[in-house]
């Protein structure tokens, strides 16, 4: 008999599942294992179809890029902007593919303009670039000014003036290692003392681009508060004055009156501005890439903080005014505060883990969850929290807003000792009831509830949602199976009318939707059982409480077709 392979050795030999980048545009999607190819595909995807990219690895995933609308062009068409991630290691390779495809596209479009000009000598020549080409060229110039300048010099159409950002673009804006003798550009937010403007003569006032370095040597902010807000600090790993992402990548460095960011990630920029707000900085200076300065200007201005070092365009000012008006209108409406009931709590996750009950060394070990609810810390204890975090679909991290729900009692057997008739100690197990919990990010729970309502109303659920959320996929499959159950019941005569069939479908979908929004596991076999009970209920509701009739399950091949 041949030697059988050792299962553990076989498992070790199997390669880990590759990371998958899924590029979605409209109803179409394509998977990539090469981040550069995914980045290139994302750039070339039609912006009208709102392309986005998800990243998945070892049952964990995230939306890493998406398309937004930033105003409109002169021709009235929407101005699309494709965001690019800059947090995790794989993001750099994705960026390389995205900007590499952008460079090729710019070159091709400039060459096409030259070719068209050469073939149509009698036609009037364009006086400026197409808005979309101009946007891409400017964005590429901020990332790689040298290549952008070479692209323009080699392929520019005669008669079109060189854009200012190509003539005066600072060196190394992408913060790559600087050549010898050059200084790499840094993204910095710093405290700015407005009193200098009133006391210094005009010739002595500090230029905005120099202010951030000088401010680091001045006195602390007026409040003397150098602490980072807890809701911000909870998102990062701290080593002295450096704050790292969970994957050990440096996010920002806190210099007291100067915050240096190592990324242009929107969340980190918002956190840096939140630090400035907590320290009562009335004005700040900003230096770095144009994209960084624009984002800081927008976030800080929304909070009433003056920004020195960035001059917004008229369009950016108009967009900001519109956003501020929408925020003010929303704040004037009655707001629902985070909920705290005995069975459910919504708040910001501050910490969780195993410890002695109520942190008392004299008590046994348990598991705790610490939340910030309406500005107050709330700590809950429960042995089931560990399992709830492990089985959470959204895998919440510190700093996320979460929904913590008590889903009922669960019977478990715990070891105990008793004595038999002879007085001997006997090890037995005693059944006890303990609370069962589930925890999900608030946005994920909202998505579950939204899709549950779509099931109830028959609204179509997007394919990308089904692909990203396994619970929704299971619910959709189960709903199809429920429809088959209802149709077979009608054909077999168990249910007489279309009204009865419609009610049966409604009852099945209602059960599925309720299970979905409450985080319960959904599978076709379970739905078959629910279908039987729903048939009883449908007969009872529509047929004046006739004796219940159990519907037969669909043939096995039908079940297989809808899985």
Nearest residue to 51 via CA among 36, 70, 30: 30
The full set of domain ranges for the chain reads: 20-167, 187-331, 344-441, 460-561
- pLDDT tens-digit series, residues 343-354: 778 889 988 888
- pLDDT tens-digit series, residues 205-238: 445 545 545 444 444 444 444 678 877 887 788 8
49, 78 contact by CB (below 8 A): no
Q: Tokens standing for 339? A: 């909920």
pLDDT in tens, the chain (563 residues): 445 555 444 444 444 557 889 998 888 889 999 999 999 999 999 998 889 888 887 666 677 888 887 777 777 788 888 888 776 778 889 999 999 999 999 999 988 888 887 776 656 666 678 888 888 988 888 888 888 888 888 888 777 878 877 765 443 333 343 444 444 568 999 998 776 655 444 444 445 545 545 444 444 444 444 678 877 887 788 888 899 876 677 889 999 899 999 888 777 898 899 999 999 999 999 999 888 999 899 999 999 999 999 999 888 888 888 888 877 776 665 555 545 555 778 889 988 888 888 888 888 888 899 988 888 888 988 888 888 888 888 888 888 889 888 877 777 666 677 777 787 877 777 777 778 888 988 888 888 888 888 777 677 777 777 777 777 777 777 777 777 777 777 777 776 677 677 777 777 777 787 777 777 766 554 454 555 555 544 444 444 433 333 333 344 433 333 33
Nearest residue to 483 via CA among 401, 551, 395, 407: 551
Nearest residue to 519 via CA among 437, 456, 463: 437
Residue 223 phi, psi (nearest 5)? -85, -20
DSSP-based three-state secondary structure for 503: helix
CA distance 511 to 527: 9
CA distance 293 to 277: 17
DSSP state of 459: P
- Its sign, for the CA torsion 340, 341, 346, 352, is positive
Alpha helix ranges (H) inside 62-201: 89-119, 131-143, 145-155, 164-167, 195-199
Beta strands in 155-233 (DSSP E): 187-191
Q: What is the widest separation between alpha-carbon atoms in the chain?
A: 114
CA distance 113 to 134: 13
pTM over 0.75: no
CA distance 331 to 450: 23
Question: CB neighbours (10 Å) of residue 220?
Answer: 12
Report DSSP letters for 321-384, one per residue. Answer: HHHHHHHHHHHTSPPPPPPB-SSEEEEEEEEEEEEEGGG-TTS-EEEEEEEEETTEEEEEE-TT
Q: Tokens standing for 147? A: 């290549």
Q: Tokens standing for 376? A: 């107050």
CA distance 490 to 504: 10
């Amino acid at each position: 008999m041949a030697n059988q392979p050792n299962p553990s050795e076989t498992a070790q030999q199997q390669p880990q599942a590759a990371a998958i980048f899924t590029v979605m545009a409209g109803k179409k999607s394509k998977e990539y294992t090469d981040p550069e190819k995914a980045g290139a595909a994302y750039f070339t995807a039609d912006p009208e179809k709102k392309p986005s990219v998800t990243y998945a690895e070892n049952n964990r995933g995230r939306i890493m890029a998406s398309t937004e609308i930033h105003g409109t062009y002169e021709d009235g068409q929407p101005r699309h902007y494709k965001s690019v991630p800059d947090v995790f290691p794989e993001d750099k390779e994705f960026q390389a593919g995205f900007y590499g495809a952008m460079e090729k596209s710019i070159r091709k479009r400039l060459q096409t303009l030259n070719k068209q000009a050469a073939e149509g000598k009698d036609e009037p020549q364009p006086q400026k670039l197409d808005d979309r080409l101009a946007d891409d060229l400017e964005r590429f110039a901020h990332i790689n000014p040298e290549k952008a300048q070479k692209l323009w010099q080699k392929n520019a159409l005669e008669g079109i003036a060189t854009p200012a950002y190509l003539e005066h673009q600072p060196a190394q804006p992408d913060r790559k290692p600087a050549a010898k003798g050059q200084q790499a550009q840094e993204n910095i937010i710093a405290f700015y003392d407005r009193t200098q403007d009133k006391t210094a003569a005009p010739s002595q006032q500090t230029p905005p681009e120099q202010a951030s370095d000088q401010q680091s040597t001045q006195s602390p902010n007026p409040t003397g508060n150098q602490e980072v807000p807890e809701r911000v600090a909870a998102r990062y790993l701290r080593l002295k004055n450096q704050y790292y992402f969970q994957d050990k990548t440096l996010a920002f460095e806190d210099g007291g009156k100067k915050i240096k960011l190592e990324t242009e990630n929107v969340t980190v920029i918002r956190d840096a501005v939140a630090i400035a707000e907590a320290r009562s900085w009335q004005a700040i200076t900003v230096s770095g890439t144009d994209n960084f300065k624009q984002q800081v200007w927008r976030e800080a201005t929304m909070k009433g903080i003056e920004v020195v070092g960035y001059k917004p365009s008229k369009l950016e000012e108009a967009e900001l005014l519109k956003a501020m008006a929408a925020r003010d209108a929303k704040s004037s409406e009655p707001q629902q505060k985070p909920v705290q009931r005995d069975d459910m709590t919504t708040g910001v996750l501050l910490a969780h883990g195993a410890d002695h009950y109520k942190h008392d060394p004299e008590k046994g070990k348990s598991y705790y969850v610490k939340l910030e609810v309406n500005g107050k810390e709330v700590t809950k204890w429960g042995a089931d929290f560990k399992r709830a975090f492990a089985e959470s679909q959204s895998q919440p991290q510190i700093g996320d807003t979460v929904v913590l729900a008590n889903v009922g009692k669960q019977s478990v057997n715990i070891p105990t000792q008793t004595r038999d008739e002879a007085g001997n100690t006997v090890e037995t197990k005693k059944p006890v009831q303990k609370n069962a919990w589930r925890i999900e990010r608030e946005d994920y729970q909202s998505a579950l509830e939204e899709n549950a309502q779509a099931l109830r109303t028959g609204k179509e659920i997007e394919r990308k949602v089904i692909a990203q959320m396994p619970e929704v996929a299971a619910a959709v499959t189960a709903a199809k199976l429920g429809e088959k159950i209802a149709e077979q019941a009608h054909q077999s005569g168990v249910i007489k009318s279309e009204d009865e069939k419609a009610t049966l479908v409604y009852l099945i979908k209602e059960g599925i939707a309720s299970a979905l929004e409450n985080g319960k596991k959904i599978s076709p076999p379970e739905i078959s059982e629910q279908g039987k009970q729903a048939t009883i209920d449908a007969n009872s509701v529509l047929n004046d409480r006739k004796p219940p009739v159990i519907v037969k399950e669909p043939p096995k091949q039908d079940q297989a077709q809808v899985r």
